[in-house]
């Protein structure tokens, strides 16, 4: 660096040097006047921390304690809310927290006092001065006449290094005009906070409606607690530049509290949910709060037999004697006490038995679901429904180069119903290529270009047979 550039930087260096020489002003959560936390789906949160802080005239060293241990320091923004003029020169995130090991590591090259255990005969405790040479895997001490490791006893330090903090702290050097109390707000992005939605549904006895309750599960492993915070939750897939992955510590506690339904609003291309009451979320804790509650939501049940397209290209014969029939529940996200955007999560469904005890009957995950869209849940496979499918005829009518050709094949599907009531099964057959239905025992519906669908009625404690013949050109 030439002399011209050195003199250009000199005033700032003088200012920074004098500023950091000022006595540090500590700001803790006791000065907090408001706290708002907006939590996103993917280990990301926006914290807005408001405090009333007394500042001196001129340069101030301000230590803002109790920030998140997983703060992204480059996103931190300090501003005055009451019109006071401040100018931020520098900020440091002090994440090296005070512990016996960190205190020892920071004392390398410093002098310490070593207290030996009391002599077994005299009971006298001896004290020696030593210099800490290393503190990597154990401690190495240099005494006046020797060097020792693995010292028994205890060590006393002259003080705590300024770079060690007992809590995560953002230290700032700022300029303020006049001595006064100021309302300051520090906002920043942080990891370690997350949320997910969970739903509990109870199916009615007639299986034509359900009661749905939504809960938000909050997790906090950010290294600090958030007391009486206004919590807002953003549902949606927000674009982010991905940081290096970090291990998430295990959680230690769980709490649950009932609350009114959260208020929601559109935010850009996402949805924002605001919890009605302030919530305290401690470090290393999970908490559940109410999201929504809906009663008697109309629901329909569907039995589904899903086929495959591979057996339309060759001769196979038996295609299965105990095929599984999937069971689905469907409802519209609209009307009544529902009709709000549903965040993605897991829906767990229960139904009461003859004695009135709720029994778990299945669960499924849903994606973000806008108002008015259909929610479809797969709960498992039907126990009392069995099906068998076989190929009854196959002909290769024409062959082209490679794997091309014209194939014609016939199939028979037999469904048995052990229930005491009649059921209707949706039979779905995906057929690739250019296909034409030659014959069938009942009309199909062409649900898509490559899909034939039948609604097959099966009598109570009886069976039904579906047959079809199809010609396929590849």
pLDDT at 76 over 90: yes
DSSP state of 14: H
Domain boundaries, the chain: 14-33+50-96+165-188, 100-156, 192-298+333-375, 301-325+382-473
| Calpha distance 3→311 (Å, rounded) | 83
CB 423 within 8 A of CB 417: yes
Measure Cα distances from 21 to 15, 59, 119, 351 in Å. Answer: 10, 10, 46, 69
Q: In what order do the strands lie in the sheet with 111-115?
A: 147-149, 140-142, 127-134, 111-115, 154-156
Which pLDDT does position 268 carry in this prediction? 65
CATH assignment of 301-325+382-473?
Answer: 2.60.40
94-98, 117-121, 232-236, 446-450: which has the highest mean pLDDT?
446-450
Kindly state the average pLDDT of the residues 454-462: 97
pLDDT band at 10 (very low <50, low <70, confident <90, very high): very low
DSSP state of 223: S
CB 193 within 8 A of CB 219: yes
Which pLDDT does position 405 carry in this prediction? 87
| Calpha distance 216→200 (Å, rounded) | 11
CB 232 within 8 A of CB 273: yes
Strands 58-65 and 24-27: parallel
Which pLDDT does position 19 carry in this prediction? 41
| Calpha distance 284→397 (Å, rounded) | 68
DSSP state of 353: -
User: pLDDT digits over 173-198, tens only?
Assistant: 999 988 899 999 999 999 999 999 99
SS3 192: coil
Q: How many CB atoms lie within 10 A of CB 221?
A: 20
Angle (nearest 5°) at CA 254 between 253 and 255: 130
User: pLDDT digits over 262-313, tens only?
Assistant: 666 766 677 888 887 899 999 999 998 888 899 999 999 999 999 999 999 8
If one compares 44 and 336, the residue with the highest pLDDT of the two is 44
Strands 86-94 and 169-176: antiparallel
User: pLDDT digits over 367-414, tens only?
Assistant: 989 889 999 999 999 999 999 999 999 999 888 766 678 999 999 999
CB 359 within 8 A of CB 350: yes
Average pLDDT, the chain: 86
Which contiguous run of DSSP H or E holds residue 15?
helix 3-20
DSSP state of 120: T
Which pLDDT does position 425 carry in this prediction? 97
Q: How many CB atoms lie within 10 A of CB 225?
A: 15
Q: In what order do the strands lie in the sheet with 86-94?
A: 24-27, 58-65, 169-176, 86-94
Which pLDDT does position 462 carry in this prediction? 97
| Calpha distance 41→344 (Å, rounded) | 9
| Calpha distance 293→20 (Å, rounded) | 54
| Calpha distance 394→411 (Å, rounded) | 9
Nearest to 362 by CA among 332, 396, 329, 321: 329
Residues 6 or more apart in contact with residue 252 via CB below 8 angstroms: 284, 285
pLDDT band at 261 (very low <50, low <70, confident <90, very high): low
Which contiguous run of DSSP H or E holds residue 335?
none
Kindly state the average pLDDT of the residues 437-462: 97
For 54-104, the DSSP string reads EE-SEEEEEEEES--TTB-GGG-EEEESSS--EEEEEEEEE--B--HHHHH
């Amino acid at each position: 660096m030439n002399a011209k550039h050195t003199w250009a930087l000199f005033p700032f260096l003088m200012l920074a040097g004098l500023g950091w020489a000022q006595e540090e002003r500590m700001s803790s959560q006791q000065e907090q006047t408001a706290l708002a936390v907006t939590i996103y789906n993917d280990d990301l949160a926006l914290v807005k921390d408001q405090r009333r802080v007394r500042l001196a005239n001129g340069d101030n060293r301000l230590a803002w304690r109790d920030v998140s241990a997983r703060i992204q320091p480059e996103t931190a923004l300090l501003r005055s809310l009451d019109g006071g003029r401040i100018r931020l020169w520098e900020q440091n995130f002090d994440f090296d927290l005070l512990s016996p090991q960190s205190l020892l590591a920071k004392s390398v090259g410093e002098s310490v006092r070593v207290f030996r255990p009391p002599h077994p005969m005299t009971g006298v405790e001896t004290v020696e001065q030593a210099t800490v040479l290393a503190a990597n895997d154990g401690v190495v001490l240099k005494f006046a006449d020797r060097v020792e490791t693995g010292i028994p006893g205890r060590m006393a330090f002259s003080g705590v290094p300024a770079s060690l903090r007992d809590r995560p702290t953002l230290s700032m050097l700022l300029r303020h005009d006049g001595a006064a109390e100021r309302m300051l707000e520090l906002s920043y992005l942080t990891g370690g906070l997350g949320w997910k939605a969970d739903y509990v549904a109870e199916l009615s006895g007639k299986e034509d409606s359900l009661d749905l309750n939504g809960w938000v599960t909050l997790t906090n492993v950010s290294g600090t607690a958030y007391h009486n915070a206004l919590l807002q939750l953003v549902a949606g897939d927000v674009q982010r530049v991905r940081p290096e992955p970090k291990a998430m510590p295990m959680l230690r506690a769980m709490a649950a509290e009932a609350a009114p339904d959260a208020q929601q609003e559109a935010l850009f291309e996402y949805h924002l949910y605001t919890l009605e009451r302030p919530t305290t979320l401690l470090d290393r804790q999970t908490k559940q709060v109410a999201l929504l509650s809906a009663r008697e939501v109309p629901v329909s049940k569907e039995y589904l037999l899903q086929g495959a397209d591979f057996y339309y290209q060759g001769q196979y014969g038996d295609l299965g004697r105990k095929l599984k029939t999937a069971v689905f529940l469907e409802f519209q996200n609209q009307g009544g006490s529902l009709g709000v955007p549903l965040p993605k999560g897991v829906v767990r469904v229960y139904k009461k038995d003859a004695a009135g005890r709720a029994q778990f009957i299945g669960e499924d995950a849903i994606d973000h679901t806008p108002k008015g869209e259909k929610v479809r849940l797969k709960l498992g496979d039907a126990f009392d429904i069995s099906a068998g499918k076989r190929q009854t005829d196959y002909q290769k009518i024409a062959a082209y180069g490679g794997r091309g050709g014209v194939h014609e094949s016939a199939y028979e599907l037999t469904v048995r119903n052990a229930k005491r009531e009649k059921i209707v099964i949706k039979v779905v057959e995906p057929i690739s290529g250019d296909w034409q239905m030659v014959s069938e025992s009942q009309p199909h519906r062409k649900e898509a270009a490559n899909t034939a669908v039948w609604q097959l009625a099966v009598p109570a404690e009886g069976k039904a047979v579906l047959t079809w013949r199809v010609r396929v050109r590849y």
